[in-house]
Chains A and B, each alone.
Chain A
Amino acid sequence: MSLALPISADSSALAESRQRLGRWQRLPTKAKVGAVLLGFFVLAAIIGPMVTPYDPSYQNPLPSLSLQAPSAAHLLGTTQSGQDVLSQLLVGIRLTMQLAFIVGVVATSLSVIIGVSAGFLGGIWDEVLSLFSNVFLVIPALPLLILLLGYLPQRGQTPTILVLSFLGWPWGARVIRAQTLSIRNRDFIAASRETGERTWRIIAFEIIPNEVSLIAASFVNTVLYAIGVSVALAFIGLADLSSWSLGTMLYWAQSQQALEVGAWWWLAPPGIAVALIGTSLVLLNTGIDELGNPRLRDASRSSRIGGQKVRPTDPTPVLAATRSRRGLPAFLHSFSRSAWLEEGMEPQRRRTGLEDRSLAPGGEQR
């Protein structure tokens, strides 16, 4: 590969990167913001623990270093026992993200396996697997987790990961099953079956590639769930309290009454970090949604065709009519929606409200 075409490789790489850039630009704004925000936290999780200014568990015996407000030496201040909050935060982001990522991978794999099998095999398999996933959907997860972890003698990372993964798959499985059902009866599946493809090959190379966006969405959702639940569990003390995660940080800050003694810098960073990671995931998911369903896109985002703004849901504009308007084309054009826009006529605007969404170009309602 590396030997081939030293000159054209350059230009094709350029073209490819330009294409990639184009693809990035076409993403909805929400997805972009979410991806950048998430990228920041992933980066913090990867390099954060290597650049911590202090040992997060080191308790500084100097009383003057207890509960210090943010300063140059301690950018996010110190805890009651003189530990550096920034160092704890950097290590905590790593641990929380790591847990959520593992749970996301395991639970999403489970939901793909179960969802695809239920949808593809059909019959009694479908009945049993759907019933199973619906039952676990309806049983609230957190009480079950509390019960399970309450019985466990030691509450480390591993049991939490196992239990969260075991309870995190049903939602994804349900969505993936529905999609599999609708793909199963399409022609290309029938064709590959006729040509003698094996079942596992059809599943792996025909069905799953068509569900990538759903799988991505369910992964994002699972990660979101894992972060929320693991932080909540740690907050009520059902975690390994000697390790630093965002949840245990919140646990210690709360149990030593950070807010009552006015040490907001102790409680706020982990809470805001959780909220920002959560927001980035929600934004990313909304972005994925909008990518798949053009109707949901922000109405102010529109592309220009033939010099006029067209939203994705508008009917295809008549290009010839918008360019030259004389004679018959102009007469015909006067019936089209874009003509109303340009003339600012907006017939029956007050009456139906339909124009509010289908006629108004983005800026009009502002």
Chain B
Amino acid sequence: MAFVARRLGFYFVAAWVALTVNFFIPRAMPGSAVEDIMSKFPDLQPSAYKALEAMLGVGHPGSLWHQYLTYLDDVFHLNFGTDLIEYPAKVSTLLGQTLPWTLTLVGTATVIAFLVGTGLGIVAGWRHGGSLDRVLPGLMFLQAIPYFFLALILIDLLAERTHLFPIGQGYAGGLIPGWHWDFIGSAVYHSLLPAFTIVITSLAGWMLQMRNVMITTIGEDYVLAAQAKGLSSHRVMLTYAARNAILPQLQGFGLALGFVVSGAIIMEIVFSYPGIGLLLFNAVTSNDYPLMQAIFLVIVFAVLLANLIVDAVIVFVDPRVRSGEGAR
């Protein structure tokens, strides 16, 4: 439990840092976001200047400390302000519309990539020097290909030319989102290619790491002892070697999540997938500052939450953590 408390404290600090960074970025940047917006939208009345200032918090109403407290209060109540582009839509409404798409797609794809990669890593580590080791350079190449480049090629080959998969979007045009089979089927069909892209580019990383830890674990005495006892090879591989090798892998999961999320943002842009990454891209290209900031916070909090879940799993599978030995 000390471990959980420690981790909770850490996530609290991380969340606070993200909130504070988010608060100071618009204030520390050169140039004025307000003037930028005013020049982008000539229709705006000069009186809108003050309103924009207040909304972006750059006009310094009150002391910095006071602004900061107001900002924290707003975030706490999920009040991210009003959107500039799709005025008068609330930013939180836009987030609510896009977040489920991203969570479902990226979450599923990441879990699949992690499971398959770890599984392949176990086998590759156990049969060190076997045939799986020989495909490693190929996998490294796949891993090194930029996400979006692979996605573009896949779209061209599998969607544009052969029409096996749809070209981007989250669901077929004309369907009304809701809980009926037409829509769900279409959404699943549209998510196959993006999910495949995420899996194939992140698979190698999980596999390589698991393989390396596995090889090191196999050299431990307890694995030798298990084999000397005459346990079946299958059992030694899974319950002795892999069981312990998976702990560093899980700890790496949380940290690697940031990269996965980054890749997913780009992937959504390429596939015009109606998720939060595409929303962020649109916000940036149209200088929609309140939306940008809110999306940043949402992404950070999602990653922190995922880390927290992984920590809970670690507590469950690693007795050393439970007894407080291997805290961190």
- Partner-B contacts on A (CB < 8 A): 30, 33, 131, 134-135, 137-144, 146-153, 171, 224, 228-229, 231-232, 235-238, 250, 254, 259-260, 267, 271, 274-279, 281-283, 286, 289, 293, 295-296, 298-300, 313, 351-354, 356-357, 360, 362, 365
**Are the CB atoms of B17 and A135 closer together than 8 Å?**
yes
Q: Which listed residue, B208, B283, B300, touches A139 by the CB 8 Å rule?
A: B300
**Are the CB atoms of B261 and A282 closer together than 8 Å?**
no
Q: Say yes or no: is B189 at the interface (Cβ < 8 Å to chain A).
A: no
**Are the CB atoms of A139 and B10 closer together than 8 Å?**
no
Q: How many angstroms between the C-alpha atoms of A352 and B219 in the bound complex?
A: 15
Q: Which residues of B contact A267 (CB under 8 A)?
A: 149, 152
Choose, from B24-32, B82-90, B190-198, B315-323, the stretch at the interface: B24-32
**Are the CB atoms of A139 and B258 closer together than 8 Å?**
yes
Contact-residue bracket for chain B: 35 or more
**Are the CB atoms of A282 and B143 closer together than 8 Å?**
yes
Which residue of chain A lies nearest to B217 when distances are taken between CB atoms in the complex?
A: A295
Q: Say yes or no: is B250 at the interface (Cβ < 8 Å to chain A).
A: no
Q: How many angstroms between the C-alpha atoms of A328 and B177 in the bound complex?
A: 82
**Are the CB atoms of B147 and A232 closer together than 8 Å?**
yes
Q: Which residues of B contact A279 (CB under 8 A)?
A: 137, 140-141, 144
A234 nearest CB across to chain B (Å): 10
Which residue of chain B lies nearest to A260 when distances are taken between CB atoms in the complex?
A: B160
A149 nearest CB across to chain B (Å): 8
Q: Which listed residue, B25, B148, B258, touches A235 by the CB 8 Å rule?
A: B148
**Are the CB atoms of A352 and B233 closer together than 8 Å?**
yes
Name B87-140 residues within 8 Å CB distance of A: 126-131, 133, 137, 140
Q: Which listed residue, B36, B156, B262, touches A142 by the CB 8 Å rule?
A: B262
**Are the CB atoms of A232 and B130 closer together than 8 Å?**
no
Q: Which listed residue, A139, A250, A296, A352, touches B227 by the CB 8 Å rule?
A: A352
**Are the CB atoms of B303 and A365 closer together than 8 Å?**
no
Q: Which listed residue, A139, A150, A231, touches B292 by the CB 8 Å rule?
A: A150
**Are the CB atoms of B141 and A275 closer together than 8 Å?**
yes
Q: Say yes or no: is B63 at the interface (Cβ < 8 Å to chain A).
A: no
Q: Say yes or no: is B266 at the interface (Cβ < 8 Å to chain A).
A: yes
B214 nearest CB across to chain A (Å): 10
> Given A286-B208, A299-B129, list of 12 further CB < 8 A pairs?
A138-B14, A139-B14, A140-B261, A143-B261, A151-B29, A171-B255, A254-B152, A282-B143, A295-B219, A352-B227, A356-B127, A357-B128
Q: Say yes or no: is B70 at the interface (Cβ < 8 Å to chain A).
A: no
Q: How many angstroms between the C-alpha atoms of A277 and B14 in the bound complex?
A: 33
Q: Which residues of A contact B145 (CB under 8 A)?
A: 271, 274-275, 278
Q: Which listed residue, A148, A232, A281, touches B148 by the CB 8 Å rule?
A: A232
Which residue of chain A lies nearest to B300 when distances are taken between CB atoms in the complex?
A: A139
**Are the CB atoms of A147 and B296 closer together than 8 Å?**
yes
A254 nearest CB across to chain B (Å): 7
Q: Say yes or no: is B34 at the interface (Cβ < 8 Å to chain A).
A: no
B142 nearest CB across to chain A (Å): 9
Q: Say yes or no: is B206 at the interface (Cβ < 8 Å to chain A).
A: no
Q: Which residues of A contact B131 (CB under 8 A)?
A: 365
Q: How many angstroms between the C-alpha atoms of A141 and B144 in the bound complex?
A: 18
Q: Say yes or no: is B215 at the interface (Cβ < 8 Å to chain A).
A: yes
**Are the CB atoms of A275 and B144 closer together than 8 Å?**
yes
**Are the CB atoms of A152 and B30 closer together than 8 Å?**
yes
Q: How many angstroms between the C-alpha atoms of A153 and B35 in the bound complex?
A: 11
A sample of 7 inter-chain contacts (CB < 8 A) reads A140-B262, A142-B258, A142-B266, A231-B146, A274-B146, A298-B133, A365-B127
B157 nearest CB across to chain A (Å): 9
Q: Which residues of B contact A276 (CB under 8 A)?
A: 144
Q: Which residues of A contact B289 (CB under 8 A)?
A: 150-151
Which residue of chain A lies nearest to B28 when distances are taken between CB atoms in the complex?
A: A151
**Are the CB atoms of A147 and B293 closer together than 8 Å?**
yes
With A131-B13, A138-B303, A299-B133 as given contacts, are A153 and B30 in contact (CB-CB < 8 Å)? yes
Query: What 0/1 pattern do residues 249 to 262 of B give for CB contact below 8 A with A?
Result: 00000110111011
With A278-B144, A362-B129 as given contacts, are A296 and B149 in contact (CB-CB < 8 Å)? no
Name B279-311 residues within 8 Å CB distance of A: 280-281, 283-285, 287, 289, 292-293, 295-296, 299-300, 303-304, 307
Q: Which listed residue, A144, A146, A259, touches B156 by the CB 8 Å rule?
A: A259
Which residue of chain A lies nearest to B138 when distances are taken between CB atoms in the complex?
A: A279
Q: How many angstroms between the C-alpha atoms of A279 and B126 in the bound complex?
A: 25
Which residue of chain B lies nearest to A362 when distances are taken between CB atoms in the complex?
A: B129
B326 nearest CB across to chain A (Å): 14
**Are the CB atoms of A236 and B14 closer together than 8 Å?**
no
**Are the CB atoms of B237 and A353 closer together than 8 Å?**
yes
Q: Say yes or no: is B246 at the interface (Cβ < 8 Å to chain A).
A: no
Q: Which residues of A contact B285 (CB under 8 A)?
A: 237
With A151-B26, A153-B31, A259-B152 as given contacts, are A235 and B146 in contact (CB-CB < 8 Å)? yes
Q: Which residues of A contact B254 (CB under 8 A)?
A: 138
**Are the CB atoms of B307 and A138 closer together than 8 Å?**
yes
**Are the CB atoms of A274 and B149 closer together than 8 Å?**
yes
**Are the CB atoms of A147 and B129 closer together than 8 Å?**
no
Q: Say yes or no: is B33 at the interface (Cβ < 8 Å to chain A).
A: yes
**Are the CB atoms of A139 and B18 closer together than 8 Å?**
yes
Q: Which listed residue, B17, B143, B216, B236, touches A353 by the CB 8 Å rule?
A: B236
**Are the CB atoms of A138 and B215 closer together than 8 Å?**
no
Q: Which residues of B contact A282 (CB under 8 A)?
A: 140, 143-144
**Are the CB atoms of A296 and B140 closer together than 8 Å?**
no
Q: Which listed residue, B29, B224, B237, B295, touches A143 by the CB 8 Å rule?
A: B295
Q: How many angstroms between the C-alpha atoms of A138 and B299 in the bound complex?
A: 11
Q: Say yes or no: is B230 at the interface (Cβ < 8 Å to chain A).
A: yes
